[in-house]
Amino acid sequence: MMGEYLIYYRGKTASYVCDGRLLVRPTPSAVKMLPDAEYDSMTAGGRKKLLRVDNIDNKELLTELFTAMYDELPEPKPKKHK
């Protein structure tokens, strides 16, 4: 199930906003930059564990985080043409 909002960074899905929480994929860079971050899921009992970013007002941190994560994020799936 998809969260309330997706945040794209340079064409790749970088994070999710669900119930007022910012959740990012636990890439090696994200885990390194957010060593104390809690793992959370988009839905109650969800299996996909993501890192919760609590310091969402820090623009510099978020910019650095998304830039560091970019190369580790999966490429978007090609769109199917009807």
* pLDDT over 50 (residue 1): no
pLDDT digits (tens, 9 = 90+) for 16-54: 998 889 999 999 999 999 999 999 988 777 778 999 999
Domain ranges of the chain: 5-72
Cα gap 41→43, rounded to integer Å: 5
Structure tokens at 30: 């994200």
Q: Give residue 82's pLDDT band: very low, low, confident or very high (50, 70, 90).
A: confident
Query: How confident is residue 2, by pLDDT bands cut at 50, 70 and 90?
Result: low
* Sheet architecture: strand order including 39-40: 5-9, 12-18, 21-24, 50-53, 39-40
